[in-house]
Structure 1
Amino acid sequence: MKELVVNLNTGLHGDLAVPGDKSISHRSVILSSISEGTSHIHHFLASDDCISTINAFREMGVNIDLDGDELTVEGVGLHGLKAPQTKLDMGNSGTTTRLLSGLLAAQKFTTNLIGDDSLSKRPMKRVSEPLSMMGASIETTDGHLPMTINPGHIKAVKYELPMASAQVKSAIILAALSADEDSVIIEPQVTRDHTETMLNQFGNNVIERAGNEITVHHQPKLTAQDFNVPGDISSAAFFLVAATLVPKSHIVLKNVGINPTRTGILDVLIQMGANIKLLNQTNGSEPTADIEVTYTPELKPIDVTEESIPLMIDELPLVALLASRADGHSTITGAEELRFKETDRIKTVVEELRKIGIHIEELPDGFSIDGSNDWQVVDSSLDSHGDHRIGMTLAVAALLLDVDVQLKGEDAISISYPQFFDHLQHLSD
Structure 2
Amino acid sequence: MDIQVRPAKRLQGEINALSSKNYTTRYLLAAALADGTSTVNYPAHSEDSDAMRRCIRDLGAVLEEKDERITITGFGRNPRPVKELNVGNAGAVLRFLMSVAAFSPEITFVNVYPESLGKRPHDDLIRALEQMNVRIDHNGGKLPITIHGGDPRGGKIAVSGKVSSQYLSSLLFMTPLLEEDSEIEVLDDLKSKVVVGQTLEVLEQAGIYIKASEDLMHFHVPGRQKYLAKNYVVQGDYPGSAAILAAAAVTDSDVRIHRLEERSRQGERAVVDVLKAMGVSLTHVDSTVHITGNTRLKAVEFDGDEATDAVLAMVSAAVFAEGTSRFYNVENLRYKECDRITDFLAELRKAGADVEERRSEIIVHGRPEGVEGGVEINAHFDHRVIMALTVVGLRSKQGLFIRDAHHVAKSYPQFFDHLRSLGAEVNWM
**Conserved? CA contact 1:252–1:292, under 8 Å:** yes
Indicate the larger mover: 371-380 or 357-366: 371-380
- 1:232 and 1:383 map into 2 onto residues whose CA distance is 25
Kept after mapping to 2: 8 A contact 1:104/1:175:
no
User: Which of 98, 107, 119 matches 1:111?
Assistant: 107
Residue equivalent to 2:28: 29
| Cα distance per residue 1:109-130 (max 9 Å; x no partner) | 2111113221111001021112
Q: Equivalences for 1:61-80 in 2 at 5 Å?
A: 61-67=60-66, 69-77=68-76, 79-80=77-78
Matched, 1:250 2:254: yes
1:323-349 CA deviation, whole Å, 9 max, x = no partner? Answer: 211211122232221111111111121
Map 1:161-240 → 2, pairs under 5 A: 161-163=160-162, 165-179=164-178, 180-186=180-186, 188=190, 190-192=193-195, 193-212=197-216, 213-240=218-245
Question: What is the match of residue 95 of structure 2?
Answer: 98
By how many angstroms is 1:225 displaced? Answer: 1.4
Question: Does the 8 Å CA contact 1:206/1:220 hold for their aligned counterparts?
Answer: no
Q: Which amino acid aligns with 2:276?
A: I
Residues 46 and 69 of structure 1 are in contact (CA less than 8 Å); yes or no, is this contact kept in structure 2? Answer: no
Residue 425 of structure 2 corresponds to residue 426 of structure 1: no
1:276 aligns with 2:279: no
* Matching of residue 323 in structure 1 with residue 321 in structure 2: no
The Cα offsets for residues 22-67 of structure 1, whole Å up to 9 and x where unpaired, read as 1111111111011122111111112111111111111111111233
Structure 2 contact 177–223 (Cα < 8 Å) conserved: yes
Cα distance, 1:164 vs structure 2: 6.7
Query: Any gaps of 5 or more consecutive residues in structure 2?
Result: 425-429
SS of 1:28 mapped into structure 2: helix
TM-superposed CA distance for 1:271, in Å, is: 2.8
Structure 1 residues 250 and 65: alpha-carbon distance in aligned structure 2, compared to 1, 3 A threshold: same
Describe the superposition over 1:208-232 as per-residue Cα deviations: whole angstroms up to 9, x where unpaired: 4534344323221211111211111
AA partner of residue 124 (structure 1): H
* Counterpart position of 2:378: 383
Match of 1:264 in 2: 270
Residue 91 of structure 2 is aligned to residue 88 of structure 1: no
SS in 1 for 2:322: coil
Residue 157 (structure 1) shift: 2.4
SS in 2 for 1:83: coil
Shift of 1:206: 4.2
1:414 to 409, 415, 425: 409
Distance 2:270 2:306 in 1: 5
State the distance in 1 between where 2:356 and 2:215 align.
36
Q: Report the Cα offset of residue 372 of structure 1.
A: 1.0
Q: Following the alignment from structure 1 to structure 2, what is the Cα–Cα distance between the partners of residues 364 and 208?
A: 30
Describe the shift of the 1:245–1:80 C-alpha distance in structure 2 as closer, same or farther (beyond 3 A): same
Distance 1:197 1:20 in 2: 17
- Where 1:64 maps in the other structure, the secondary structure is strand
C-alpha displacement of 1:199? 1.0
Q: Give the alignment partner of residue 372 of structure 1, picking from 349, 358, 367.
A: 367
Unpaired runs of 5+ residues, structure 1, are 281-288
| 1:2 alignment counterpart | 3
> SS of the counterpart of 1:157?
strand
SS at match of 1:256: coil
* 1:408 Cα deviation from its structure 2 partner: 0.9
For residues 319 and 371 of structure 2, what CA distance do their matches in structure 1 show?
A: 13
Residues 297-337 of structure 1: CA deviation (Å, up to 9, x unaligned): 12221223xxx333111122112212211211122232221
Larger relative contact order, structure 1 or 2 (CA cutoff 8 Å, min sep 6): 2
Task: Describe the shift of the 1:375–1:132 C-alpha distance in structure 2 as closer, same or farther (beyond 3 A).
Answer: same
Residue from 331, 334, 340 that aligns with 2:335: 340
Matched letter for residue 406 of structure 2:
D
Change beyond 3 A, Cα 1:135–1:164 = same
Partner of 1:286: none
2:79 is matched by which residue type in structure 1? Answer: L
Aligned equivalents of 1:156 and 1:171: distance in 2?
Answer: 16
SS of equivalent residue, structure 2 residue 74: strand
Given that 1:360 and 1:369 are in contact with CA atoms closer than 8 Å, whether structure 2 keeps it comes out as: yes
**Deviation for aligned residue 1:68:** 5.0
CA distance in 2, matches of 1:296, 1:90: 42
Query: Which residue is 2:153 aligned to?
Result: 154
Give me the whole-angstrom Cα distance separating, in 2, the residues matched to 1:273 and 1:103. Answer: 46
- Range with bigger deviation, 67-76 or 33-42: 67-76
Aligned in 2, Cα 1:401/1:95: closer, same or farther, shift over 3 Å? same
Paired positions, count: 412
Partners in 2 of 1:150 and 1:290 — Cα distance?
48
Counterpart contact for 1:263–1:311, Cα < 8 Å: no
Deviation at 1:352, TM superposition (A): 1.1
**2:427 alignment partner in structure 1:** none
The answer as to whether partners of 2:371 and 2:397 remain within 8 angstroms in 1 is no
Equivalent residue for 1:356? 351
Deviation at 1:135, TM superposition (A): 2.9
Aligned to 2:301: 303
Check the 8 A contact 1:330/1:371 in 2, yes or no.
Answer: yes
The letter of the residue matching 1:137 is R
Q: CA RMSD in A?
A: 2.1
Q: Secondary structure at the match of 2:419?
A: helix
Amino acid at match of 1:64: L
Scaled by the length of structure 2, the TM-score of the pair is 0.90
Q: Which amino acid aligns with 2:194?
A: T
Displacement of 1:362: 2.4
Deviation at 1:395, TM superposition (A): 1.3
Q: Is the 8 A contact 1:355 1:377 kept in 2?
A: no
Higher mean displacement: 222-231 or 159-168? 159-168
CA distance in 1, matches of 2:353, 2:346: 10
Look up the SS of the partner of 1:273 in the other structure: coil
